[in-house]
A and B are shown apart, each in its own frame.
Chain A
């Protein structure tokens, strides 16, 4: 067993884990954060995408011990004060899901795409989400939701400029 300490969704955790424990297993089975799902178990589908120190990773393809000392954000850590993150809100409004299984990973990766490129073209969104598979093939509305979120995020950051509100939402998505 190896002792690891990491911050997940703003809370610090310290646990003994077997070195072979995958990050996604640790999140789900030790911390109960079942919002992050396991889709394919072969690092293809992206359903288990989380942010590790602010960049997206497939958490079935990272060992928990590799995340020791680092910061993880899951889908459960995106909403603030009961208010959905703009990407979550846009997925809801655009009905960007059918069965919903790929949604946590899609949203986490969409946040990563928008962090690097706040105004992506449709092609850039599709390429940014290429590591996330929707088995219902509901890509059309997913792309629409990311476009809507990009608009919402840029108008909210423009209107609040460098206010605490916008800094707060960036801290969550970065």
Chain B
């Protein structure tokens, strides 16, 4: 199938893109890498009157460093993130999670910003962004920008803090230099959406866990952070027994879906197992 007719705009600056959004309002859909949007348009699940393509805005591309933060342009592709030494060094968790997204062709086109705004709860970018305490920079009308913590960014299924007439422009990630990281993704076949995924990053000190951050994929309508697990891990040795005990509370506050891939109880079981594996791998155990 092919998409329904639409008008196509390809602005070359954020200001022009925001102006186009203001002009077309509800009629418009923003095209980032298009790896989720184009299937939606082809299956006619959505038929916007106008498509605004962000692919020709250079200021939205690339990874840079700003003091103790990494700054990732919203239109930076997964492949570019994977190729970035700065991300591997300072936010290894993001690299590990993105390496599991879909397949190589999709990773050449799909973007970090597009994934975050699409906010599919089974997507693999939200949990590491949340665990790393990312800040999302959002551009609005008249050149205004605001910054939203990842904690406040995800509102519901496919819903974020990016409001009407606004665009996500940057993802700012506090550097986690020297932290071990692992993303444990459970799928039944290759290049599938996560049935459950767990993003864990750990700072070790003298053989035990000094700090830990844990994010969960597809355990609710948004990515979730497992704060009780993070707290329980502090000071623990990276042993199977200690980590097993510390992750027991991982399902506090989760509300996983039941679907063809598994019911909610099965996902809760997976979350416990995958969190243990992710934490142990992140701690180098």
Contacts and interface: CB of A to CB of B under 8 A. Distances in A.
A46 B105 contact: yes
A22 interface: yes
B82 to A, nearest CB: 11
B1 interface: yes
B8 to A, nearest CB: 3
A19 B102 contact: no
Chain A interface secondary structure, helix, strand, loop or mixed?
mixed
B108 A57 contact: yes
Contacts of A19: 5-8, 51
Interface string A80-102: 00000000000000000000000
A131 B8 contact: no
Nearest to B4: A20
Nearest to A128: B104
Interface in A93-148: 109, 112-113, 127-128, 130-132
Interface in A42-69: 42-44, 46, 49, 52, 55-58, 60-63, 65-66
A20 B6 contact: yes
Interface residues of B, number: 30
Contacts, number: 85
Given A62-B34, A130-B103, 8 more contacts: A22-B2, A22-B42, A55-B79, A56-B108, A63-B8, A65-B8, A109-B105, A112-B104
Interface of B: 1-8, 10, 31, 34-35, 38-39, 41-43, 51, 53, 55, 79, 102-106, 108-109, 190-191
Interface of A: 2, 18-22, 25, 41-44, 46, 49, 52, 55-58, 60-63, 65-66, 109, 112-113, 127-128, 130-132
Closest 9 CB pairs between A and B?
A131-B103, A19-B8, A20-B3, A130-B190, A55-B108, A58-B105, A130-B103, A56-B105, A61-B38
28 contacts: A18-B5, A19-B5, A19-B7, A20-B41, A42-B39, A43-B39, A43-B106, A44-B191, A46-B103, A46-B105, A52-B108, A55-B108, A57-B105, A58-B105, A61-B34, A61-B38, A61-B106, A63-B8, A63-B38, A65-B10, A65-B53, A66-B55, A109-B105, A130-B104, A131-B105, A131-B106, A131-B191, A132-B103
